Structure 1
């Protein structure tokens, strides 16, 4: 078997997330714990972001509920490969519900960054994109280069149906970019971002 870590990634996570969110307009961004939260915050903290500081394994399901309730707006879920492995069952539920506006972005450094950079499943031959496709998410792809990332942006934003993209990134550290950590504040501003004036009724 050829493991994915035989091909060394060159993309850096912070630049990848910034490029994806550059023209986000009113789309939502849900993040799992750790680096995905820092990366999205570094790209620009705003009311449309909701950071899941904990609840590992639950980000995709949170995003699914949001996408179904707000069908006219794109929902992005940013997760690490470890988070996605913990929540693999959610991919089957996403496929069955078939939201037209949900994009799951797996930032895959093939390691468990939060617990000491131990090698993870994705670096030992486990193909998260293939698992998603087998579950029924047909728009499932792996990105390894800037050119592939650029080519994927239309799919990430415009595809009618759930999308999952695994983006292979380096393990190079990035500066911590902490967003607000006040739970009630984040809840209230996100509620307003979702519901507008109705949030205060």
Structure 2
């Protein structure tokens, strides 16, 4: 499974369930923008490791919306505290989807520790998130993501993928535009 396959499944389900996506910086955001730009996608253009923290804050402040954090293995390893914080605050509308290709793909595929002995599912469970699972194909991903989005508990899905990236163009929106249209989409979703 490639990351682009994960993103297609995620986007399809997020649109159907009117969820918002906080996307990890670099190629994941570029690929998501390329396959399905929408105001409900918040693209990180900096701040590696903070997609899950931003998603957590949003889930707490907007309990009426399903919030999905799209993280990478390298990014989540930079901010493991976000898993412990999510476990203790436990917003029922938060799903953290970690794309684990065992590499920092945006900077040249340098290996992350998940290429060694580090197990992100085990870390999430150890942080206190019992709904943590690792998936290896699109069918399993779709099933687990549907369950997570419908559940009333914070959940973590680790999607193991190949080391690959799509030749997606750079996002041509400035950060202020991304922020403003995302905030408007979140507000509109609550009014409707």
> Could you state the TM-score of these two structures normalised by the residue count of structure 1?
0.88
1:143 is the counterpart of 2:143: no
CA distance in 2, matches of 1:22, 1:118: 30
CA distance in 1, matches of 2:73, 2:13: 24
Query: Over residues 49-92 of structure 1, what are the superposed CA-to-partner deviations in whole Å (9 max), with x where a residue is unaligned?
Result: 11111111111110001111111211011111000000101110
Structure showing greater radius of gyration is 1
The total of aligned residue pairs comes to 189
Query: Over residues 90-134 of structure 1, what are the superposed CA-to-partner deviations in whole Å (9 max), with x where a residue is unaligned?
Result: 110000100001111111110111222111101101001110111
CA distance in 1, matches of 2:123, 2:189: 40
**Residue of structure 1 in register with 2:7 after alignment:** 17
CA distance in 2, matches of 1:49, 1:14: 15
> Could you state the TM-score of these two structures normalised by the residue count of structure 2?
0.92
Structure 2: stretches of 5+ with no match in the other structure: none
1:51 is the counterpart of 2:43: yes
CA distance in 1, matches of 2:188, 2:139: 37
Find runs of 4+ consecutive structure 1 residues off by over 4 angstroms: none
**Residue of structure 2 in register with 1:93 after alignment:** 85
Q: After TM superposition, list the pairs within 5 Å mapping 1:8-157 onto structure 2.
A: 11-25=1-15, 26-157=18-149
CA distance in 1, matches of 2:184, 2:43: 15
Cα RMSD of the aligned pairs, angstroms, is 1.8
1:184 is the counterpart of 2:180: no
1:167 is the counterpart of 2:159: yes
- Per mean C-alpha deviation after superposition, the further-off stretch among 182-191 and 82-91 is 182-191
